Structure 1
């Protein structure tokens, strides 16, 4: 088992979850594995009142991981009653373990359900 770091840099073109004139309060949730089987989960701070492009505070999270794992990314809109799911994706980690580091935009959603993109820097630590 190795350690990886995931740096959440920014998001762009996020779809609005609070109506045409509403603003998102986005945050990113990152996880590896299933939570009932000892999975790991981290989330960024919420960035209030955003309309599409979001600059996160370059938050960095560490995970135990192996090449066969997937990093699950969820972008959510923080609301009082129930957080809205803006979009999500999964990133296979085999390429990361081959290259050592990846800086890339990842599409949130698929096909006609694309909900934006998030930029991450993934690094193998050990």
Structure 2
């Protein structure tokens, strides 16, 4: 079941790149990121309230809060850089290079979370890294 959500995530990420490239024409990318963020905040909180998940906010630990805040900061910085890259480059170049995050996630998960890298995962990460360098150079 996880892979269905992962595929939907990929689809929505692809649409994000396409819609953003059209939407940022002649717009400051930081302003565009702020507008996008407001939309995401409204959508995310609407889902939380519809599902009733807001009742569990009191059970979050200090560690939950710390790492969710850090994740939010990383996401915001990623979006700011992504929008600037989209404004300067082609979607067909920026979006695949952005997906270098997949290989970086694999490496960081091994280093910091102790996740093992199988041969298959290692080859996939190497191909992503190789493809990224082909696109850049």
- Scaled to the shorter chain, the TM-score interval is under 0.3
Q: Whose radius of gyration is greater, 1 or 2?
A: 2
Q: Greater RCO between the two (CA within 8 Å, min separation 6)?
A: 1
Between structures 1 and 2, the one with greater helix share: 2
TM-score (normalised: structure 2): 0.26
Between structures 1 and 2, the one with greater strand share: 1
TM-score (normalised: structure 1): 0.27
